[in-house]
Amino acid sequence: MPSEISKAVQDGEGLREAFTSCVEENGRPICEAQLLTALIVSEAAAQENYDVSAELMPNHARKFTEIKGEEKVHWRELGAISKTLLMNR
């Protein structure tokens, strides 16, 4: 049975809620919260072992797919990109 986060990956509305919660609960600056959300997405996708479709991600995460120039980014790549950006902040 998929976790709540995994369900959010499959459901754009749930993902937006997860993003909003990340901002409200952590009180972090919006750009850092966006990167943390991307990490949540990549971890959830890792549990299900599938590619994350750009259309299921909010605009900030869609930027990660633009880096690769592809419609889909494998969860490992999304996680690596988002972790690198977080560490370079």
For the stretch 32-75, pLDDT in tens is 556 666 666 666 666 655 555 544 455 545 555 455 555 555 55
Angle (CA) 46-52-57 rounded to 5° is 120
3-state secondary structure of 73: strand
Helix intervals (H) in the chain: 4-10, 12-26, 30-48, 59-68, 75-87
pLDDT the model gives residue 89: 44
Q: Which of the four pLDDT bands, split at 50, 70 and 90, describes residue 28?
A: low
Q: Are 72 and 52 in contact (CB under 8 A)?
A: yes
- How many Å apart are CA 60 and CA 27, to the nearest integer? 18
